[in-house]
Structures are given as C-alpha cells and as structure tokens.
Chains A and B, each alone.
Chain A
Amino acid sequence: MDKKQAYKKVAYYPGCALEGSGHGYNKSTKAVGKKLGLELEEVKNWNCCGAMEVKNIDPKIQTYLSARVMNIAANEMGHDVVMAPCNGCYHNLKKAEYDLAHDESSREVTDRLSSKAGHGTYEAGQIETIHALDWIKDGIGEDELRRRVKGGLKGLKVANYYGCMYTRPRHIFPEKDQGPGSESTSKPHFMDDLLAAAGAENVDFALKTACCGGAHTLSDKDTSTKLVVNILKAAEEAGAEVIATECPTCHAGLEMHQVRAEKEFGIKTNVKMMYFTQLLGVALGLSPRKVGIPENASDGRAALRARAIA
C-alpha cells in the first residue's frame, strides 16, 4: 500500500502536552486533517510515552510505556500506522521500536510488564510510527496541498523550527536520510516544504534543530532563557515574522522564555510562534480561532492580519 493510501486513516496519539499547553496544536492538527480528508482515530486509553522523566531514569520502562501505546493501536485497534504530533512522543515511540528490534533485555522487560499489567505485548514491526509532518507531507503532498490552499500565506516570512527530538539520535529514524523524498536529520525540510506549498516564504534559519533548553526549563531556567532568546533573535535577524513549530515542548518554551526574557532581563523580541498546523489551517481557509491561534501565549493574529492572511 502506498503512503497516500496508508496515511488516509491512522491511529492518533496526542500525548499529554496536546491536552494541556499544546491545545492549539491538537485543535489545528484535527482541523487540518478534517479539511484535507485525513482521518484520525485516537488511541484508546493511551498512557504517557515515558517522556524525558522516565527515560532519563530507566529507559526500559519508557520502552514499555511506549510499547503499550503501540500495542493498543496495532493489536487492539488494528491500525498499521500511528501518528504522534508531539516530538517527545514521536521520538519515544521510535526509540521503543528500535530498542525492541535490537535489544533482548528491552523485549524481556516489556513482555514481563505487559503480562503483569494483564495486556498483550508489542512486537517490533507491528505498526509504523509517523510524525504529523510525515502524515501531511506523504499523505497529501505539496502539489495537492498547493491545489487546496485558499488565499495562502502570502509570502509570510517563516523560520521553521524543528527542535531536537524530531531527528536525534539518528539511528532511531532509519527512514530518514534515504535520499530524494526522505527527511534529512541534519537539515530537516518537511515543514519548509509544506509551508512553502501553502505560500510562505521560508527564511534561511541556521538554528532549526538547535536545543531550546526544554529539559532544563525548571532545573536551570536561565540557560533555557538564553538558548531561547538566541533562537528568537536568530529568527528575527533572518527576517522571520513567525517561527513555525512542530513540538509542543519547544513551542511552550519559546513562548514562555520570550515573556520571561522581557520581564526579567528587559530583552524584547517580536517574532510570533505558531504551530505549522495552525499556519496550514489558515492557508486552507480556516479561521485563526478554528485552529487555536488565540490560545497561543504568543498570539500571532496581528502578524497574519498585517499580510491580510486572516
């Protein structure tokens, strides 16, 4: 089955962030999917992917937690593909898949905990994990997107920010770096491609995979603020009006530290943050409200209005 067909209806794993701080990402992902005729079925009774906290303490427990999600999607719901829009969830499901395929002790721990919890186990290869970027890029494609765009982004200058977990570590993403048509781990471009098709002008942004300091936002917030301010300034210096995001942790970090930098250090930046699905949504003719733009801490409606986009 080709990807266009396979991604028409997929299991949807929103993860915890999309039900909280990343609400606008959840809303816009669903709205854009509906607009494009891509169907989502939420994974029933899903649990935490193991995020950073569990993974940093015991990676095998994280593997189990992610495996449980994949087991429900594959074996209880019968899906071949699970889509995770959050970079942390996507990364963790991919890492679990890799560990279960390559590490006997990870398999043993997952089997044991699954049996103890009274549910079936997951075996590597039973489902394909994709990101929201893959879902739209391969499920719809730029040509089709270009045809469906209404009004478009009218040359809005965008810095595409992918964050760290979409491409790192490289070995858990065997489908990337496979030549034309595949994603690159050193210079990712799927978001650039989609937003260009929607009428945006992508700026030359050197920090597209740079760390936002997300993991240390509580333990060392000054480092996180410095990393974020540097990213915001780099985007502004490159001419960006908007930073497009595809990770709720990065997005929240950029927004929160933008405010903190101004309040505590008097460093003001004006660039706005929007999820790439929010930008695609308005390009497709959906209202900013419909895709949750007013719910962002960094409300980008004025930037859109300035270009008569929405």
Chain B
Amino acid sequence: MRTIAAIEEWVEGWSPEGASAAAPGELLAAAEDVLENWLQAHNRTPTRKTKEGFRLLALHSQAARGDPSFNACRETCREAAYRYNLAATELAPAEWRVNIATMRRVVQHLVYFVGGKLRNAQLGEFCCASRPIRADAVLEG
C-alpha cells in the first residue's frame, strides 16, 4: 500500500494525455489505497470484500462506520466508481479522455480530503460533520 504522500504525488503527476486502457483501474486502485491508509491509521484491517462490485465502496462503508464526517466521501467514492464504469463503455476517444480526466480529479479530491482528515484529527472536523470535539460538553447551571 502506498502512503498518502506517495498517492498524492502520483495523482498530481498523472495526465490524461496518452492514458492507456489501464488508467481507470490504476485510478481506482489509488482511491482504494487512500481508504486503506485511513483504516490502518485507525487500527482496522481493510476489508477485501466488494460492494456493488467495487472494493472501494466496501472500504468506504467500513471507514464510515462510527464516523459521520466520513460519509462526506460517499459521493466521491460513488463518483469514482461511476467514472470507472463509464470508461468501460463505448465512448469516443475524446469523451473517454474527458471522463478519465474527471475521474482523476475525483480521486485527487479523495486523497486531499482524507489526507487532511488524517492530519487534522485534533483540530476540529470538516464543516459537514455532526460529531463535536467534546461530545459530553453541555453548558451546566
């Protein structure tokens, strides 16, 4: 499994120009690596199962358990899966490249978001999270 920094570097250097038929699979694998990083950082063994045919979606479900703010990644992971499926359809070469470029941006978002969450765990959650830093704090008196 690559580190977050390594995935970040790889995806930033990736270009849709001249991308081969293997590109959708490579981008999907990078997204899976991102979620594996998150799970391992939280002492959980990343699942090998799939959900709706995608390990990425199974990893997301596993990572989101007990962490409301991780739900924010649901649409990102689903979008990556959608773009992967779209790449397998009969798109014209130009459309295929646009789609794969979009998939790259989606995976890039995932690595920045999850990387940010890993770095900032003690600084407060992202906006859409419903989990407070101090869950028991209630003004007394």
Point out residues on A near B: beta carbons under 8 Å: 52, 55-61, 88, 91, 95, 105, 109, 113, 164-165, 168-170, 186, 204, 206-207, 209-211, 213-216, 219-220, 223, 226-227, 230-231, 233-234, 237-238, 249
In the complex, the answer to whether B124 meets A52 with C-beta atoms within 8 Å is yes
Q: Which residues of B contact A169 (CB under 8 A)?
A: 68, 71, 128, 130
Residues of B within 8 A of A231 (CB): 109
Interface of A is mostly: helix
Pick from A109, A165, A227: contact of B113, CB below 8 A.
A227
B102 and A206 contacting across the interface, CB-CB below 8 Å: yes
Mark B residues whose CB is within 8 Å of A: 68, 71-72, 74-76, 78-79, 83, 98, 101-102, 105-106, 108-109, 112-113, 115-116, 119-120, 123-128, 130, 132-134, 137-139
B126's partner among A58, A170, A215, A238 (CB-CB below 8 A) is A215
Q: How far is it, in angstroms, between the C-alpha of A154 and the C-alpha of B133 when the chains are bound?
A: 47
A-B contact pairs, 20 of them (CB 8 A): A56-B133, A57-B133, A59-B132, A105-B138, A109-B138, A165-B127, A165-B128, A206-B102, A211-B109, A211-B128, A215-B125, A215-B127, A220-B119, A223-B120, A227-B112, A237-B101, A237-B102, A238-B98, A238-B102, A249-B127
Q: How far is the CB of B83 from chain A (nearest CB, A)?
A: 7
Given contacts A60-B138, A207-B106, A237-B102, contact A223 B128 (CB under 8 A): no
Chain A residues with CB below 8 A from B74, complex form: 186
Given contacts A215-B124, A216-B120, A58 and B139 within 8 Å (CB-CB): yes
Question: How many A-B contacts at CB < 8 Å in the complex?
Answer: 113
Residues of B near A52 (CB, < 8 A) are 124, 127
Given contacts A58-B137, A61-B139, contact A227 B109 (CB under 8 A): yes
Q: Tell me the complex Cα distance, A226–B109, Å.
A: 9
Min Cβ gap B27→A in Å is 13
Distance between Cα atoms of A173 and B28 in the complex (Å)? 31
> What 7 A-B pairs come out closest when comparing CB atoms?
A223-B116, A234-B105, A164-B128, A168-B128, A58-B137, A219-B123, A226-B112
Least CB distance, A235 to chain B, in whole angstroms: 9
Which residues of the other chain, A, contact B134 by a CB distance below 8 angstroms? Answer: 57-58
Decide if B127 touches A206 in the complex (CB within 8 Å).
no
B101: which A residues are within 8 A, CB to CB?
237
The answer to whether A95 touches B130 (Cβ under 8 A) is: yes
In the complex, what's the smallest C-beta–C-beta distance from B97 to chain A, in angstroms? 10
A213 touches B116 (CB 8 A): yes
Looking at the complex, which one of B72, B109, B128, B137 makes contact with A207 (CB distance below 8 Å)? B109
